[in-house]
Structure 1
Amino acid sequence: MSVSEYTLKGIFKELMRYKSALVGLAILVFLVALSLYALIFTPYAQAGEIWNDQNRWLAYPRNAAPEWYNFFSSKKLPPSILIGEGLPNHKSEEAEREGHRVITYLDSFTYNYDDFPSELVLLINTTYSGSPPTVKVYWVKPSGEELNLSVYRPRNISESIYISNNLILERDLEEYAIDKLGFTPNYTITIPVALFMEYKGEPTVMKGNYTVRIEVTLYNRSDTFSYRLLMHGKVYGIAGTDIYRRPLEIGLIWGAPIALSFGIVASVTITFANLILAAISGYYGGKIDSLIQRLTEIYMIIPFVPFIVTISILYGLDIWRLLLIVIILSILGTPVKTYRVWVMQLKTSPYVEAAIAYGASNLRIIALYILPRILPPVVPSLVLSIPSYVFLEAALAILGLSDPKVVSWGRIIEESFAGGAVYKGYYHWVLIPSAMLILTAISFALIGLALDRIVNPRLREM
C-alpha cells in the first residue's frame, strides 16, 4: 500500500477486502446499534436507578433461563403464563346471594411442560366502600379434582398476593398430596408442585387442561374487581433473569454503551497522549527528552492494577473518574519509548530537513510531517488495545469496585457470583455477559489485525 493510500478512504477500501474485518465490523455495528438503542430509549442517568429498583421487576420470574434453552434440553421448561380478565379463555357469571353481588370467574389453560412453575401471584385491582371483597380461589386439575387455594381479603386498591408463599396453604396441600400418594416422598412438595403434580413416586407434571375458578363477593353495588393470575415460569426472554427478577437482556443493552465508551475513550486518549509525548521527546531531545523518558520509566514500574484498586477502595470512584485515573496512569508507558524511536528516525529524513530549511516551525513539523507518518502504524495497536480497557472495567466491577449507579457487563457478572449463580446452576447469568465481553474483544481484534496487515507491508506479504 503506497503512502498516498494511507488515507481514511484508502484504508477503509482495503479493509473491505478482508473477510475477518467484515465480521469484526458487523459485530461492531451490532454493538453500536445496541448502544444507541439504550441511549435513545433510556437516559443514562435513569438506567442505574431503574436497574437498582427491585420493585420494578416483581412481574418477572426469578432466576429464569433464556427461552432458547428449551431447544437444547430434553426437559421442556415452562414460560410464564398469564390468565385473567381480558385474556383468552376467560368467562364470568354474576349472581346475587344474600343481597351481595357474587361474580364467578373461570379461566382455563393448557399445560404441556416437563417442569413446575416457580411461583403463583394473584394480581388484584379493586375499589370498594366499607368491607373489602372476599376472594375464593379454586384450582381444578386435568384429573377433575378440585383444590381450595384459600380465601383472600385484599385491603389495597392494587394488591399482589403471592399464593405460592402461603405457608398454611402449603402445609395443607402437602398433607393432601401425601395422603394421595400413600407415603411421604423424598422431595419437597411446594405449592406449585402440589398444584401440577401427578401422584407418583417421582415429581412428575400432570399435563393437560387446568381451570382456575375464582368467586368474588362484592358487598356494595359500586364495588369493582378485576384480576390476573400470573404463573412465573422457568424460562424468560433471550437472556433469562437474575435473582432479583431483572431481565438480563436489559442489563446487556444498558451495558453496551458503558463498555464501548470506556474502552474507546481510554484507548484513543491514551494512544494519542503517548504519541504526542513521544513526538516531543524524540524531536526536541536534550533535557525535554531526558525528563519525559525518566517519567516514563517511573510510570512503567508503578503497579497499575493494584494502584487503581487502592484508589477505588479509598475514594469510591464513579465510572468516569475511574476512566480519568486509568488515562492518567497510562499516558506515559512503554508505547512512548517505541514511538520515540520512530520519531527519531523520521527526524533525520530528507523531507523533514527540507521543511527545517524553508523555515517551518517545530510545531508545524511535528504536526504535519512527523505525526501523520507514524499514525497509520499506530492505528492497529489503538484498535487492538480497546478490548483491554473494556476487560479492565469489567475486572474492576467483578472485584466489587464498580460504580453502583452504572449498569455494566462486569457488574452483572459480579452480582452473579455474589448470588451463587455458578454453584446453583444459573449459568446464563454468568455466561451471557461474559460472552458479550468476548464478542467485543473479537470484534476489535479482527478489525485491528486486518488493519495491521494493511499498514504493515511485511504482514501483507505473508
Structure 2
Amino acid sequence: MTTDTPPRAAEAGPRRLARQRRRRSAIRFWTRYRTHRAGLVGLAALALFALAALTAPLTVGSDVADVTSAPGLPMESPSGEFPLGTDRFGRDLLGLLLWGSRVSLLVGLLAAVLSVAIGTLLGITAGHFKGGYATVLMRVTDWFLVMPTLVLAIALATVMSRSLGTVVLAIGVTSWPTTARLVRAQTLAVESRPYIERAKALGGGHWHIMSRHVLPNVMPLVLAQTTLIMSASILAEATLAFLGLGDPTVVSWGGLLQEAREAGAVSSGDWWYLVPPGIAIAAVALAFTLCGRAVESVLNPRLGVDR
C-alpha cells in the first residue's frame, strides 16, 4: 500500500530548509559582527538615536516646534529647566534636537534606499547585458561620478518645491553612481562562474539569471553600501537644510543650524544653539560609517577591516 505525499507537505520541506538556512546565516553574521568592537559601538549609538526618534512624540510632544507655545525666553543659555537652552523663539532646544532626529534619520534612510536601489538596478543590468547598453550606461555613470554630488543635489532642490520628498529625490538620484560601479563589477564576476553557464544552457532567461543568481550574490555588497551611503545622505540633508533648501515646515538638525546662523549665534557666542545639532549630525554619520565598515568586513573577510 502506497501513500502519496500531500503537496503542502512536500512544499513545507523546502520552505523549512530555506528558513533554517536563513536562520543559520543570521546567527553566523551576528557571531562575526559582534567581534568588531567599533561596529558594536556604532550599532549601540544608532539604537540610541533610533529610540530617541521613535519616542520623541512621547518624551517631548508634537507641539515642541510650535512657536506660539514656546515655554521660554529667546536665546536662553542652558539651565535646569532647559538643559540645552532655547532658540530664538524660546523653544526648548533639547526637545527640538530629539524631534529633529526623526526627520534627519528618515530622510537619510529613504535617500540611501533610493540611491542603492537605482545603483543596484543599473549595475546588474549593465553587467548582465553588456554591449552598447552597458557602454552608454557606464559613460552616464562616469559623468555623474565626476560631477560634485552636492552641487547636483542643490541644483535639483533649487528648481523643485521645498519639501522632504524633494530632498530625498535630490540626494537619491545624485548619489547612485558608486553603487552602480561596484554592483556592475560584482555582477561581471558572478556571471563568469560556471553555474551561470549551466543555468543559461538549461534555458534560464535574463530575469531568472539576474534575480535568482546575480542578485543574491551582490546583496552583501548592497547591504554594506547602504549603511555607508546613509551617513553621506544624512550629511547631505543637513547641508541642504543649512543652505535653506529643506522643508521649512519641519524641524531637522540641518534646519536648526540654519536657524542658528540666521539668529546670529556665531557672532553672539551662543554655542548651545550650534554645537548640539552639529555633534548629533557628526555622531550619527560616524555611527553609520562604523556599522558599514563592520558589515563590509563580515561579508567580505578578505578586506581585513580593523576591528
Aligned-residue identity in percent: 26
- Counterpart Cα distance in 1 of 2:120 and 2:24: 18
In structure 2, distance between residues paired with 1:280 and 1:375: 15
Residue 308 of structure 1, CA deviation:
2.8
Deviations 1:172-203 (A, max 9, x none): xxxxxxxxxxxxxxxxxxxxxxxxxxxxxxxx
Q: Which aligned pairs between 1:400-415 and structure 2 lie closer than 5 A?
A: 400-415=244-259
Q: Tell me how far 1:380 sits from its aligned partner.
A: 2.1
- Residue 262 of structure 1 is matched in structure 2 by 107
Higher helix share: 2
Match for residue 237 of structure 1 among 82, 91, 97 = 82
1:304 to 146, 149, 158: 149
1:10 is aligned to 28
Residue of structure 2 equivalent to 1:54: 67
2:243 is aligned to 399
Matched, 1:346 2:187: no
- Deviation sequence 1:234-259 (CA, Å, 0-9, x none): xx322211121110111111111111
Deviation at 1:340, TM superposition (A): 1.4
For residues 281-329 of structure 1, the C-alpha deviation after alignment (integer angstroms, 9 at most, x for no partner) is: 1111123212322332333344432333234334442111221232223
Residue in 2 that maps onto 1:280? 125
Change (3 A) 1:395 1:266: same
Structure 1 outlier segments of 4+, above 4 Å? 3-6, 39-43
Q: Is the 8 A contact 1:5 1:11 kept in 2?
A: no
Q: Cα–Cα, structure 1 residues 239 and 444, in superposed 2: closer, same or farther, change >3 Å? A: same
RMSD: 2.5
CA distance in 2 between counterparts of 1:356 and 1:373 reads 17
Unaligned runs of 5+ in 2: 1-20
Q: Which residue is equivalent to 2:14?
A: none
Q: Which of 38, 42, 56 does residue 38 from structure 1 map onto? A: 56
Shift in CA distance, 65/456, structure 1 to aligned 2, threshold 3 Å:
same
| Structure with greater strand percent | 1
Q: Where does 1:111-130 land on structure 2 (aligned, <5 Å)?
A: none
Measured at CA, do residues 413 and 39 of structure 1 come closer, stay the same or move farther in structure 2, by a change above 3 Å?
same
Distance in structure 1 (CA, Å) of the matches to 2:206 and 2:25: 24
Q: What's the CA shift string for 1:378-437, capped at 9, x where partnerless?
A: 322321221111011111111122211010011111111111112212101100111111
- Residue-pair matches, total: 286
Instruction: Say if 2:305 is the partner of 1:293.
Output: no
1:361–1:29 CA distance, 2 compared to 1 (3 A) = same
- Larger C-alpha radius of gyration, 1 or 2? 1
Which of 320, 325, 331 is the equivalent residue of 2:170? 325
Matches for 1:30-429 after TM superposition, within 5 Å: 30-39=48-57, 51=65, 53-57=66-70, 59-67=71-79, 236-331=81-176, 333-429=177-273
TM-score, normalization: structure 2?
0.84
SS at match of 1:55: coil
Q: TM-score, normalised by structure 1?
A: 0.57
User: Residue 60 of structure 2 contacts residue 95 of structure 2 at CA under 8 Å; is this kept in 1?
Assistant: no
CA contact (8 A) 1:6 1:376 kept: no
Secondary structure of the 1:56 match is coil
- Is structure 2 residue 283 aligned with structure 1 residue 439? yes
Instruction: Measure how far apart 1:374 and its partner are.
Output: 2.0
Change (3 A) 1:289 1:311: closer
